[in-house]
């Protein structure tokens, strides 16, 4: 089950690992994404730190990691096809695979229903 942050990121636990990315709402707000800067494998992050950056035709935005973790893998395809983030932001266009430092942090995030109800109308 995906859990969502107020900063429009999601995290989905997959066994011992988790994928994280941006939400469909974030992708729509950004517009056409033309560049992605991803973290390095083995980088460690504390919740709330910038893990990636994206540039769109509208703006440049920082992506914040919603939980503490270590980067195990990145979605390298995003370098050549950043538009994947617009096409499938909550599916195949995840940003990083993480080993969570404290899986209990997921309890501080929102369910999809809570997240959707928090969005501006």
Which residue intervals of the chain are DSSP H helices?
Answer: 24-30, 77-80, 84-87, 112-118
3-state secondary structure (DSSP) of residue 104? helix
Q: What does pTM read for this prediction?
A: 0.95
What does the pLDDT read at residue 62?
Answer: 97
What does the pLDDT read at residue 120?
Answer: 86
Structure token pair of residue 79: 């370098």
Instruction: Give burial (CB, 10 Å; 0-12/13-18/19+) of 101.
Output: middle
What does the pLDDT read at residue 43?
Answer: 98
CATH architecture designation of domain 2-118? Beta Barrel (2.40)
Predicted confidence pLDDT, tens digits, the chain (121 residues): 999 999 999 999 988 899 999 999 999 999 999 999 999 999 999 999 999 999 999 899 999 999 999 999 999 999 999 999 999 999 999 999 999 999 999 999 999 999 999 998 7
23, 38, 17, 24: which is closest to 109 by C-alpha?
23
What does the pLDDT read at residue 102?
Answer: 93
Question: Cα separation of 23 and 26, whole Å?
Answer: 5
């Amino acid at each position: 089950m995906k859990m969502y942050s107020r900063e429009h990121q999601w995290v989905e636990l997959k066994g011992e690992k988790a994928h994280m990315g941006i939400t469909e709402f974030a992708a729509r707000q950004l517009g056409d994404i033309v560049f992605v800067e991803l973290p390095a494998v083995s980088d460690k992050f504390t919740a709330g730190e910038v893990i990636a950056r994206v540039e769109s035709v509208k703006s440049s935005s920082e992506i914040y990691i919603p939980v503490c973790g270590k980067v195990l893998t990145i979605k390298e395809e995003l370098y050549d096809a950043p538009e994947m983030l617009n096409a499938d932001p909550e599916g195949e266009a995840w940003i990083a695979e993480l080993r969570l430092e404290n899986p209990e942090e997921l309890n501080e995030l929102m369910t999809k229903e809570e997240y959707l109800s928090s969005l501006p109308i």
